[in-house]
Structure formats: C-alpha cells, structure tokens
Structure 1
Amino acid sequence: MKRIAAEETIAVRCRVRSAVGGHPRAMREFEAYQRLWERGLFTGIPDVLVVAIDTNCSTFAQTRSEIEEATLDELRALLVTACPNPHIERWFMADLRSFHRVVGYEPALGTAKCERGYYKDHLKDAVRRGGHPQTLGGIEFASALVEEMSLYRAGRADRSLKAFVDELRGKLRSG
C-alpha cells in the first residue's frame, strides 16, 4: 500500500487491525471492526479499506466475493481486496529477479501449487539458501522485496497480485 501510494504521490497512514490467525479469524476480525465502526468507536470514515486474506486454494473470485458480501454497504465503495492466490508468500516471490537481488537466491517456483505450507516452506528455503539465518521465515524481507520488485513483472507472474495493485491504484487515484 505504501509503495503504490508513494508512486501516486498520496500520503497514507496504514492501520493494521489484525494480521494473524488465518482466513476464519481474518473474517471474524473484519466483522468485529465493522461493528465497532458502526458504533462510532473509530473517528471518521477511512479513505480506503483494504482487506487482505489468502485464498487458501479457493479461487480469487470466491474469496473476493466472500469479503464483499461481509462488507457493510456504507464501506463497500472504499473496499480494496487483497486475495493472494493461494498464499501471500507467493507474492513475495512473484518477481524472481528482484527476489534474487534482495535475498541472494532465486527459487524455482514452477506452476502454482495449492498445497498448504508449500510457499511458506519455499520462502524459508530460499532465505536459507540465500545465506540468511532463519528468523521470521522470510517475512522479514517483505518491505525490501516490495520496494525492489517490478510490479509489472510480479503482476504478470501472479494475477491476484496484479488485481490488488490495479484496484488499490484505482481507488487512490479516484479518492
């Protein structure tokens, strides 16, 4: 979000409400956030509301639809969905050239796999092969990877990433 906003010369302040626990918990947390928002516990209305949930081998369209259906009418026009297919770790490796520049190793991803833990393990292995100690399983490189990656190349490699980038950029431009 910060990178795309910077490219659009728009200042953003990101507030993460929940970032752990998987799909069911993310949906519960999103619904809880909306209930609190309805009660006025958050001041104002957000400019953009990003809900990010892995597809977990469901389809991008199904996951996006589930999020949209759970969104209050008053917030729907602000919604941007980030639905990594199947998992966020795949997005970090979507631009292999930049991944190599940051981590020091270029993993061979092959065709998309739906298997649980596949991309987490692939990311951990790539970080280890790049000569780095195991700390957060590769997520510690997230900011550097996002800054370095070609969003064009990454979007060509992963349609769910392209959909998020395009939707967010569109919302920021129209806001």
Structure 2
Amino acid sequence: MKRIATEEATAVRCRVRSAIGGHPRAMREFESYQRLWERGIFTGISDVLVVAIDTNCSTFARTRTEIEEATQDQFRALLVTACPNPHIERWFMADLRSFHRVVGHRPALGTAKCERGYYKEHLKDAVRLGGHPQTLGGIEFASGLVDDMSLYRAGRADRSLKAFVDELRAKLRSG
C-alpha cells in the first residue's frame, strides 16, 4: 500500500486491525470492525479500506465476492480487496529477478500449487539458500521485496497481485 501510495503521490497511514488466524478469523474481524464503527468505537472513516485474505486454494473471484458480500453499504465505496492466490508468500516471489537481488536466491516456482504451506516453505527455503538465517520465514524481507519489485513483472506473474495493485491505484487516484 505504501509503495503504491508513494507512486500516486498520496499520503497514507496504514492501521492493521487483524493479521493472524486465517480466513475464518479474518472474516469475523472484518465484520466486527464494521459493527464497532457503527457503534462509534472508531471515529472517522478511512479513505480506503483494504481487506486482505488469502484465497487458500479457492478462487480469487470467490474470495473477493465473499468479502464484498460481508461489506456493509457505508464501506462499499472504500473497499479494496487483496486476495493472494493461493497465499501471500507467492506475491513476494512474483518478480523473481527482484527476489534474487534482495534475497540472493532465485526459487524455481514452477506451476502454481495450492498445497497448504507450499509457498511458506518455498519462501523459507529461498531465504536459507540465499545465505540468511531463519528468523521470520522470509516475511522479514517483505518491505525490501516490495520496494524493489517491478509491479508490472510481478503482476504478469500473478494475476491476483495485479488485481490488487490496479484496484488500489484506481481508488487512490479517485480519492
């Protein structure tokens, strides 16, 4: 979000409301956030509301529809969905040239897999093979990878990433 906002010359302040617990918990947290906002627990409203949930081997369209159907009317115009297919770790490896520059190893991803944990393990292995100690499973490289990656190349490699980038960019431009 910060990278795209910078490219669009827009200031953003990101506030993460929930980042653990998987798909069911993310949906519960999103619904809870909306209820709390209705009750006045949160004051003001964001310009953009990003709901990010891995597709977990479902489809991008199905996951996006589930999020949209759980969105109350007052939030619809603000909504941007991020639905990594199948998992967020794949996005970090979407631009292999950049990944190699940042991590020091170029993983061989091959055909998209939807096995649980496949991309988590691939990311951890790539970090290890790049000569780095195992700390956070590769997620510690997220900021550097996002800053360095070609969003064009990454979007060509992963349509769910392209959909998020395009949707967020359009929302920021219209805001």
- Answer yes or no: same fold by TM over 0.5: yes
- Partner amino acid, structure 2, of 1:64: R
Which contiguous aligned blocks of 4+ residues in structure 1 show a shift greater than 4 angstroms? none
- Cα RMSD for the two superposed structures: 0.4
Match of 1:140 in 2: 140
Q: Partners in 2 of 1:173 and 1:133 — Cα distance?
A: 40
Q: Partners in 2 of 1:144 and 1:72 — Cα distance?
A: 35
Q: Partners in 1 of 2:173 and 2:145 — Cα distance?
A: 24
Among all aligned residue pairs of Structure 1 and Structure 2, give the percentage whose two residues are the same amino acid.
89
**Cα deviation 1:102-146 (Å, max 9, x = unaligned):** 000000000100100000000000000000000000000000000
Q: Secondary structure at the match of 2:61?
A: helix
Runs of 5+ consecutive residues of structure 1 not aligned to the other structure: none
Q: Partners in 1 of 2:42 and 2:36 — Cα distance?
A: 7
- Partner amino acid, structure 2, of 1:76: R
Match of 2:107 in 1: 107
Q: Partners in 2 of 1:73 and 1:164 — Cα distance?
A: 21
Runs of 5+ consecutive residues of structure 2 not aligned to the other structure: none
Offset at residue 65 of structure 1 (A): 0.2
Q: Partners in 1 of 2:141 and 2:45 — Cα distance?
A: 32
Q: Partners in 2 of 1:104 and 1:115 — Cα distance?
A: 25
Match of 1:48 in 2: 48
Match of 1:8 in 2: 8
- Partner amino acid, structure 1, of 2:48: V
Match of 1:36 in 2: 36
Give the TM-score, by structure 2 length.
1.00
Match of 2:22 in 1: 22
Give the TM-score, by structure 1 length.
1.00
